[in-house]
């Protein structure tokens, strides 16, 4: 799992380097309410199809989600809102309570 995270980080750096000169940015969002592997899956899949997001990698040990994005298409606040809508806290924003209720039992 750690190794996978490391490889993901390398991949992410590669994507960022490759995208140099475009409107590429990255942010690390604190997700304190992430507690298990299922949270990682839920958080990463929450970004599927989100316009402007290149890669989202959740790190369970660090309780963070690293997101590479195009800042001409999506803001950090909108990225936080994706996590909030998935039922998790994001930086200083509280989780959406209805989404939190719908999380698997192991995730709360
Ligand atoms: Cu979980």
Q: For 89-103, what is each residue's pLDDT tens digit? A: 999 999 999 999 999
All structural domains of the chain with their residue ranges: 23-107
Q: What is the pLDDT of residues 31-65, one digit of tens each?
A: 999 999 999 999 999 999 999 999 999 999 999 99
The answer to whether 45 and 82 have CB atoms below 8 angstroms apart is no
Helix 37-46 crosses helix 76-85 at what angle (to 10 degrees)? 130
Ligand 1 centroid–CA 93 distance in Å is 18
* CB-CB contact of 9 with 57 (8 Å): yes
Residue 63 — left, alpha, or beta (φ > 0 → left; ψ -120 to 50 → alpha)? left
Q: Which CATH code for domain 23-107?
A: 3.30.70.100
Q: How far, in Å, is the centroid of ligand 1 from the Cα of 40?
A: 7
- Give the predicted TM-score (pTM) of the model: 0.80
């Amino acid at each position: 799992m750690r190794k996978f995270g490391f490889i993901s980080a390398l991949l992410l750096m590669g994507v960022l380097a490759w995208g140099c000169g475009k409107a590429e940015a990255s942010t690390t969002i604190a997700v304190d309410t992430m507690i298990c592997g299922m949270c990682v899956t839920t958080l990463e899949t929450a970004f599927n199809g989100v316009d402007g997001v290149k890669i989202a990698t959740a790190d369970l040990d660090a309780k963070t989600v690293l997101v590479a994005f195009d800042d001409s298409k999506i803001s950090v606040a909108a990225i936080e809102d994706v996590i909030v809508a998935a039922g998790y806290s994001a930086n200083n924003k509280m989780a959406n309570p209805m989404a939190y209720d719908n999380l698997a039992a192991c995730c709360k």
